[in-house]
């Protein structure tokens, strides 16, 4: 277990030396949005799990397993400023070492009033983005699995449209006792195929390298998570310029703070009565979006999961700003239980 973790760490580390894209540049940024209430409650990104939950394959395709066959999951997010985010996935009934699933991820930005450069109204228009998710995973051994998620993408803003293709690659190692898992994921590797306007430059996708770990305590109903993301870029801070152009101050940030920006932490409190409480902390989100003198709960998240009859229901809440909170809702069921 320790050997594999160190190997994955060494694989991920060189990406931080070779690449240095600036966060916020590029296109199809909706691919970074969380849609699972469970993962949102755990900080927004977690990739190392040992549980049977189809929603988790969105974050790590190697988590897809034969035990998820006939599962159906539906997710909706009441995001910031009335933006709606949704995700649905289904795994067909197929047995064997190879597993398949399909999903659809979308974001609807709402309806806007169009106007000319002279302020004359030209009518309303919409904006939305979609990504089809085609999952495949293969069980190498009882402890090691690999997977891929192929994602055709369509983005539409008023009359400007763009197509693209991306893929997530994942590998997960689970301990023999099933209490811990280590995972490595390469996310959003791909390209923009057509640009939003003729002869436009192709924009980069928000690709990411992630390394995650989880551990359930053997004699306590607690499971802990930690995921390190953006291993392809070391400095995730931004310039907070103070003063006018003639007197610019660029505050420096210490090593510990820069390191913490890469980590997302989460915890689950498990109950025998089919009830789970979840908590998460995202340091990068807090540093980017909180008000300096009033950080509040920005960066913190929480949620609850319950099993009622044949359904799994999850709710998550995440604070993005003093005036911006997102609510996540997830419903899942195994259709095999409804067939007699």
- DSSP letters, 18-43, are H--PPTT-SS-GGGG----HHHHHTT
Question: Residue 229's CB: how many other CB atoms inside 10 A?
Answer: 25
- Give mean pLDDT, residues 53-69: 94
Q: Among 81-85, 92-96, 147-151, 271-275, where is mean pLDDT lowest?
A: 92-96
CB burial readout 53-86, b (16+ within 10 A) else e? bbbbbbbbbbbbbeebbbbebebbbebeeebebb
- Mean pLDDT (the chain) is 86
Measured CA to CA, the distance from residue 265 to residue 284 in angstroms comes to: 11
Q: Are strands 311-321 and 263-270 parallel, antiparallel or unpaired?
A: unpaired
Question: Residue 114's CB: how many other CB atoms inside 10 A?
Answer: 12
**E strands present in the chain:** 71-78, 84-90, 98-115, 121-139, 144-157, 160-174, 180-194, 208-216, 222-228, 263-270, 275-282, 300-308, 311-321, 324-334
Question: Residue 214's CB: how many other CB atoms inside 10 A?
Answer: 25
The closest alpha carbon to 173, from 340, 6, 292, 15, belongs to 6
Report the pLDDT value the prediction gives residue 14, as an integer from 0 to 100.
37
Pair of tokens at residue 143: 């402890």
Question: Residue 149's CB: how many other CB atoms inside 10 A?
Answer: 27
Question: Residue 220's CB: how many other CB atoms inside 10 A?
Answer: 9
Examine the pLDDT at 13 and tell me if it is beyond 50. no
H-state helical runs in 36-121: 37-41
Report the pLDDT value the prediction gives residue 241, as an integer from 0 to 100.
47
In a 3-state reduction of DSSP, which class is residue 167?
strand
Examine the pLDDT at 271 and tell me if it is beyond 60. yes
In a 3-state reduction of DSSP, which class is residue 86?
strand
- Give mean pLDDT, residues 12-34: 60
In the chain, what are the domains?
2-113+122-338 (2.40.160.40)
> Cα–Cα–Cα angle for 140, 72, 42, nearest 5°?
75
The closest alpha carbon to 264, from 15, 4, 48, 27, belongs to 48
Supply the pTM of this predicted model: 0.87
Q: How confident is the model at residue 18 (pLDDT cuts 50, 70, 90)?
A: very low
Report the pLDDT value the prediction gives residue 138, as an integer from 0 to 100.
94
Q: How confident is the model at residue 4 (pLDDT cuts 50, 70, 90)?
A: very low
Examine the pLDDT at 161 and tell me if it is beyond 70. yes
For the residues of 120-161, what is the DSSP string, one character each?
Answer: -EEEEEEEEEEEEEEEEEEESSSSEEEEEEEEEEEEEETTEE
Examine the pLDDT at 293 and tell me if it is beyond 60. yes
Residue listed under structure tokens 């928000």 = 206
Find all residues with CB under 8 Å of 146, minimum gap 6, and list them. Answer: 62, 137, 138, 140, 169, 170, 171, 172
Residue listed under structure tokens 């997830």 = 330
Examine the pLDDT at 218 and tell me if it is beyond 50. yes
Which is more confident, 163 or 240?
163
Q: Among 234-238, 278-282, 311-315, where is mean pLDDT lowest?
A: 234-238
The closest alpha carbon to 207, from 25, 56, 35, belongs to 25
Measured CA to CA, the distance from residue 331 to residue 209 in angstroms comes to: 29
Highest mean pLDDT among 11-20, 42-51, 292-301: 42-51
């Amino acid at each position: 277990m320790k050997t594999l973790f160190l190997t994955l760490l060494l694989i991920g580390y060189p990406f931080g030396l070779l690449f240095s894209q600036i966060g916020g540049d590029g296109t199809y940024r909706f691919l970074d949005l969380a849609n699972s209430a469970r993962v949102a409650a755990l900080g927004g990104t977690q990739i190392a799990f040992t549980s049977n939950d189809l929603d988790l394959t969105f974050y790590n395709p190697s988590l897809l397993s034969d035990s998820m066959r006939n599962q159906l999951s539906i997710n909706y997010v009441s995001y910031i400023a009335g933006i709606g985010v949704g995700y649905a996935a289904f795994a067909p009934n197929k047995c064997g070492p190879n597993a398949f699933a399909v999903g659809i991820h979308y974001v609807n930005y709402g309806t806007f009033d169009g106007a000319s450069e002279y302020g004359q109204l030209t009518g309303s228009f919409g904006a939305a983005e979609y990504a089809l998710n085609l999952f495949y995973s293969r069980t190498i051994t009882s402890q090691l699995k690999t997977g891929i998620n192929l994602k055709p993408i369509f983005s539409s803003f008023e009359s400007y449209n763009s197509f693209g293709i991306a893929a997530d690659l994942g590998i997960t190692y689970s301990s023999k006792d099933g209490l811990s898992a280590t995972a490595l994921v390469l996310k959003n590797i791909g390209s923009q195929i057509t640009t939003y306007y003729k002869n436009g430059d192709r924009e980069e996708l928000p690709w990411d390298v992630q390394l995650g770990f989880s551990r359930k305590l053997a004699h306590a109903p607690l499971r802990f998570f930690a995921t390190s993301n953006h291993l392809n870029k070391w400095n995730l801070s931004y310039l907070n310029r103070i003063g006018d152009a003639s007197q610019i101050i660029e505050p420096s940030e210490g090593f510990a703070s820069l390191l913490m920006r890469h980590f997302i932490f989460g915890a689950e409190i498990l109950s025998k009565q089919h009830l789970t409480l979840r908590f998460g902390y995202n340091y990068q989100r807090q540093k980017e979006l909180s008000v300096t003198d009033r950080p509040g709960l920005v960066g913190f998240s929480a949620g609850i999961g319950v099993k009622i009859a044949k359904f799994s229901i999850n709710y998550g809440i995440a604070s993005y700003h003093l005036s911006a909170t997102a609510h996540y809702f997830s419903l899942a069921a195994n259709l095999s239980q409804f067939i007699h």
